[in-house]
Amino acid sequence: MDQYTVTGMSCAACQARVEKAVSKVEGVSSCNVSLLTNTLAVEGTASPEAVMQAVENAGYGAAPKGAGSAAGAGSAGAGSRGASGSLSAKLAAEEDALKDRETPVLKKRLLTSLGFLIVLMYFSMGHMMLG
Could you tell me the residue ranges of all domains in the chain?
A: 2-101, 102-131
Whole-angstrom CA distances from 14 to 7, 32, 65, 83, 97 are 10, 13, 19, 36, 18
| Type of residue found at 125 | M
Q: CATH fold of 2-101, please?
A: Alpha-Beta Plaits (3.30.70)
What integer pLDDT is reported at residue 85 of this predicted model? 66
- Asked if 21 and 61 touch (Cβ cutoff 8 Å), the reply is no
The rounded distance, in Å, linking the Cα atoms of 57 and 53 is: 6
What's the burial of 9, exposed, middle or buried (CB within 10 Å: 0-12/13-18/19+)?
buried
- Predicted confidence at residue 76, as pLDDT, reads 42
Instruction: Classify residue 8 by its DSSP letter.
Output: S
What residues in the chain have per-residue pLDDT under 50? 68-81
Task: Judge whether 72 and 87 are in contact, CB under 8 Å.
Answer: yes
DSSP-derived letter for residue 54 is: H
Specify the pLDDT at position 97.
62
pLDDT of residue 16: 94
pTM: 0.56
Find the radius of gyration of the CA atoms of the chain.
22
